Amino acid sequence: MSRVTLIQHINIQVSDREKTRKFYEDVLGAEFLDRGPELNARQLQLRIGNGEIHTTDSRNPTPVPSVHFAVEINDWDELIENLERLGVPYTTTPGRRNESENSWGRRDYSSGCYTYVHDPDGNMIELVQHALGIQDADGNEFQIPHHDESPQWRRHPQYNSVPVEAD
């Protein structure tokens, strides 16, 4: 059986692409993916970590209580400082917005940190930092390297209806 290796993208409803782009770039360090004028006219696409967020335009997005996606954060203190600096409310209670007091918590089972934020259209995002680490098959801990150029999704030429020029 073929196994899933990662979630390539999620799709969220948005009412204002520019406001959404600014939020994800400023709060989560997302990178705008310029996929050409035709696709850019249809939707916003952002790289966040090793995955992507795509958008669907909607005049009145309808956030669903408790529906959210989670992203792993590498520096918790830096995240909290950034949320405070930007004035982004955060809470340990899913679904609550604009609380007068910001809060984050720790998971009993992992000592990992967590909090929830909402984007401009009310989409809920869980921010987590797991302290569990990753082990290989022999039990050795290792780090997954990350840099801005890795990984990059590219269209395979044999599946492209438009000729692709070599880089």
CATH number of residue 75's parent domain: 3.10.180.10
Asked whether residue 69 is domain-assigned, the answer is yes
Q: What is the mean pLDDT of the chain?
A: 82
Q: 155 falls in which pLDDT band (50, 70, 90)?
A: low
Distance (Å, rounded) from C-alpha 95 to C-alpha 153?
Answer: 33
Is the pLDDT score of 92 beyond 80? Answer: yes
Asked whether residue 97 is domain-assigned, the answer is yes
Would the pTM of this model clear 0.75, i.e. be above it?
Answer: no
- Is the bond leading into 89 cis (omega within 30 degrees of zero)? no
Asked whether residue 154 is domain-assigned, the answer is no
What is the crossing angle of helices 17-28 and 76-86, to 10°? 140
Q: Which residues contact 41 (CB under 8 A, 6 or more apart)?
A: none
Asked whether residue 84 is domain-assigned, the answer is yes
- Mean pLDDT on 125-149: 72
Asked whether residue 146 is domain-assigned, the answer is no
Torsion of CA 71, 76, 81, 84, to 10 degrees: 50
Q: What's the number of domains the chain is made of?
A: 1
Out of 27-36, 89-98, 117-126, pick the least confident: 89-98
| pLDDT in the model for residue 86 | 96
Asked whether residue 153 is domain-assigned, the answer is no
Is the pLDDT score of 126 beyond 50? Answer: yes
Q: Which one is predicted more confidently, 2 or 161?
A: 2
Asked whether residue 105 is domain-assigned, the answer is yes
Best mean pLDDT range from 82-86, 98-102, 104-108, 159-163: 82-86
Q: Which one is predicted more confidently, 23 or 1?
A: 23
Q: State the amino acid at position 50 in one-letter form.
A: N
Chain centroid to Cα 58, Å, comes to 20
Q: Which one is predicted more confidently, 150 or 117?
A: 117
Share of the chain above pLDDT 70, in %: 77
Asked whether residue 144 is domain-assigned, the answer is no
- Domain interval for residue 59: 9-134
